[in-house]
Amino acid sequence: MDSVGYAVVPGDYGTEQERQTAWDIGAGLQAIDGAAPSQIAQVLMSQQIQGGTSYDVVVDTLRQHYVAARSEATAQDREVDISAARISQILSEPSFTLSPGSLMAIHGRIFDGLLADPRWEGRYRSENITKPEPALGGLTVDYTPWREIHRTLAWEFENAEERDPHDAVDAVNHVLQFASAIWQVHPFREGNTRTVAVYAIKYLRHLGVAINNEPFIRSAPYFRDALTLDNAPRALRDPQPLRLFGRYLTGESVTLPELRGSRTSAAS
């Protein structure tokens, strides 16, 4: 029997421009929590983008840096730098699987060793949570009860598998609605929005959609607020911001309005 020859895939994928875009998204998504990568992370990733080092070396160097600078840095600094580098690596890889297990694996890869409790990393939460949302004036979205996470995600992924978008606009709308549904489940204790954003980008690429990456690079906080409003209590619910974000993804010239502080009166 003839042997099958397999190509060895390098650990760092894509062209220099593609790696730059992946890093820009990884860095931009940190703004969801009002943060940005440090100067050392930017220098290291610049070396990686130019082909001078690998993602693994970047992450290992950042780990060593934060061990040495423990008294001068915060846990959030470490999380921001390393998670941004890992998001960049994940987005530079062409593989994708539409499954709850893949979503869980991506969360685990991004946040391995970074969260306050290691039991939160790459695992569904085991408690019910609330979070004050600025776009809701401090109110919370009603996230899925933790005991229903497995079943709810299975249902959402099964429905996604049955969808066959007929053009790029339909694909963007489908993926954003799917992402919104997954975000409402809030399957993880922390890191849901960044994980959902990464998964949505890879899903769109899997569908062959070439999106405008600027919304995720420049407007990540808007993305979170749009997801919040799409899943808000009925009196405050508004699907329009997420639709506007979708138009931005498809390349339309749009202005994203401020979503915080304008809806508090409706809740009273």
Give dist(CA 107, CA 90) in Å, integer: 11
More confident: 209 or 262: 209
pLDDT at 236 over 80: yes
Mean of the pLDDT values across residues 208-217? 96
pLDDT at 167 over 80: yes
Angle at 104 (CA atoms; ends 55, 113), nearest 5 degrees? 50
Q: How many other β-carbons are positioned within 10 Å of the β-carbon of residue 75? A: 12
Q: How many other β-carbons are positioned within 10 Å of the β-carbon of residue 195? A: 27
pLDDT at 143 over 90: yes
Mean of the pLDDT values across residues 91-111? 97
pLDDT at 1 over 50: no
pLDDT at 133 over 50: yes
pLDDT tier, 262 (very low <50, low <70, confident <90, very high otherwise):
low
Percent of the chain with pLDDT over 90: 86
Mean of the pLDDT values across residues 207-233? 97
Mean of the pLDDT values across residues 165-190? 97
The pLDDT score that the predictor gives to residue 265 is: 44
44, amino acid identity: L
Token readout for 213 is: 């990456």
pLDDT at 2 over 60: no
Give dist(CA 14, CA 22) in Å, integer: 10
Q: How many other β-carbons are positioned within 10 Å of the β-carbon of residue 15? A: 11
Name which of 52, 173, 37, 159 is nearest 98 in CA terms.
159
pLDDT at 7 over 50: no
What global pTM score does this model have?
0.92
pLDDT at 268 over 50: no
Give dist(CA 17, CA 35) in Å, integer: 24
Give the chain's mean pLDDT.
92
142, amino acid identity: D
The pLDDT score that the predictor gives to residue 73 is: 72
Helices H, strands E: what count in the chain?
11, 0
Give dist(CA 241, CA 244) in Å, integer: 5
3-class secondary-structure state, position 238:
coil
Spell out the alpha helix ranges (H) of 132-233.
Answer: 149-162, 168-185, 192-206, 214-218, 220-230
Give dist(CA 127, CA 88) in Å, integer: 30
The pLDDT score that the predictor gives to residue 71 is: 62
Least confident range from 74-78, 98-102, 113-117, 227-231: namely 74-78
Name which of 81, 105, 101 is nearest 93 in CA terms.
105
pLDDT tier, 5 (very low <50, low <70, confident <90, very high otherwise):
very low
pLDDT at 218 over 70: yes
- What domains can be seen in the chain, in order of their start residue? 10-94 (no CATH), 95-268 (1.10.3290.10)
